[in-house]
Amino acid sequence: MSTETPTQYLKLVISGSVNAGKTTFIRTISEIEPITTDEWASEESVKEKKSLTTVALDYGRLTVDESLILNIYGTPGQKRFDFMWEILSEKAFGAIFLADSTSHEDIENTKKIIEYFNIHVNLPYIICVTKLDLTETIGFEKVVSLFIDLNTTIIPINTTIREDVKTALLTLLTEVIQNLE
């Protein structure tokens, strides 16, 4: 009889407002070249922030060890693609929502996305505050205060730093395990 532990595949979702760092998060941690669907932005409100935006999904993969592989899916940030949020969340074990600390409006948009998920998907989740290294940031404590009513774990990350992204994944895994207990 084989004593090897079978490999478990866990799916998780990265979501949040346009420009919060979802695609970057996946690119930073993925061990394969991520699959991305960035297209030229068409909406004025998006064009003001960036030229390319995710329109369907991002996908990346991380082997934690021989017993655990994470399949990581990023969502579009635009509300008009909200049908993708539910499709991508099917059979996911948890979600990470990114909140861009340089924009009040985008923090509010991330909050609306979380509310949408809580109604339609209902997964364990954490919030990661991004872009705290930029001079335009409103600061971690201020962002935390804007999410206080959600009563969930909130951590600061820079999505371009691998150790930060790893910490985010570990924090979500811990949260999910605590939810199971």
User: Using CB under 5 A, which of 54, 103, 130, 158 touches Mg ion?
Assistant: 54
In the complex with ligand GTP, the residue whose CB is nearer, 45 or 145, is 45
Check residue 131 for interaction with ligand GTP (CB under 6 A).
yes
Check residue 20 for interaction with ligand GTP (CB under 6 A).
yes
The helix or strand, by DSSP H or E, that contains position 2, with its residue range, turns out to be none
Q: Cβ(129)–Cβ(49) under 8 Å? A: no
Check residue 22 for interaction with ligand GTP (CB under 6 A).
yes
Minimum distance from residue 40 beta carbon to Mg ion (Å): 13
Check residue 24 for interaction with Mg ion (CB under 5 A).
no
Site for Mg ion in 74-103 (CB under 5 A): none
Residue 134 interacts, among ligand GTP, Mg ion, none and using kind-specific CB cut-offs from 5 to 8 Å, with ligand GTP
In the complex with ligand GTP, the residue whose CB is nearer, 22 or 111, is 22
- Residue 103, both tokens: 């924009």
**Dihedral sign, Cα of residue 47, residue 113, residue 107, residue 165:** negative
Question: With helix as H, strand as E and coil as C, how does 19-40 read?
Answer: CCCHHHHHHHHCCCCCECCEEE
Question: Coil, strand, or helix at residue 123?
Answer: coil
User: Using CB under 6 A, which of 30, 54, 109, 110 touches ligand GTP?
Assistant: 54
Check residue 23 for interaction with Mg ion (CB under 5 A).
yes
Nearest C-alpha neighbor of 13 from the set 85, 84, 73, 62:
73
The helix or strand, by DSSP H or E, that contains position 70, with its residue range, turns out to be strand 68-74
In the complex with ligand GTP, the residue whose CB is nearer, 68 or 155, is 155
DSSP type of residue 75 = P
Q: Cβ(14)–Cβ(96) under 8 Å? A: yes
Minimum distance from residue 28 beta carbon to ligand GTP (Å): 9
Check residue 137 for interaction with ligand GTP (CB under 6 A).
no
Residues engaged in binding ligand GTP (CB under 6 A): 18-24, 50, 53-54, 76-77, 130-131, 133-134, 158-160
